[in-house]
A and B are shown apart, each in its own frame.
Chain A
Amino acid sequence: MKRILYHPLVLSLFVVAVFIFSNWQGWLETPKDIFFRLTGQGQKIIYQFSLRTDNFIRFFVSIKGLEQENIRHKQNNERLLGELALLREVSRENEFLREQIALSAAEPNQLILADVIGYNLSGLEKYLLINKGERDGVKEKAAVITAGNVLVGQITETLETFSKVRLISDPSSRVNSIIQESRTMGLVKGDRGLDFFIDLLPQGRDIKKGETIISSGLAGFFPSGLLIGHIQEIISSDAQISQTAKIDPAADFTRLEKVFVIVE
Chain B
Amino acid sequence: MKNLLIILALLLAAVLQTTAVPFLAFKGVSPNLILVLILFLVIWKGFKQAWWIIVLAVLFYDNFAGLFFGLISLSMVVIAYLIDWLNRTVFSKVRFWIVAGLVAGGTLGYNLLLVVLDRLFQGILTFDLKYVLIEAAYNSLLAAFLFIPAKRIFNRVKNRKYGA
Contact = CB atoms under 8 A, between A and B. Distances in A.
B is a partner of A:
yes
A84 interface: no
Contacts of A19: 59, 62, 69-70, 73
Contacts of A170: 66
A204 B145 CA distance: 52
A113 B138 CA distance: 35
Contact of B70 (A20, A39, A125): A20
Contacts, number: 138
Nearest to B111: A124
A192 B15 contact: no
A15 B55 contact: yes
Interface string A39-54: 1001100110111011
B135 A122 contact: yes
Contacts of A42: 15
Contact of B22 (A23, A32, A119): A119
A23 B51 CA distance: 21
B77 interface: yes
Interface in A112-140: 117-125, 127, 129
A172 interface: yes
Interface in A32-90: 32, 35-36, 39, 42-43, 46-47, 49-51, 53-54
A29 to B, nearest CB: 11
5 contacts: A36-B63, A120-B22, A172-B125, A192-B131, A194-B28
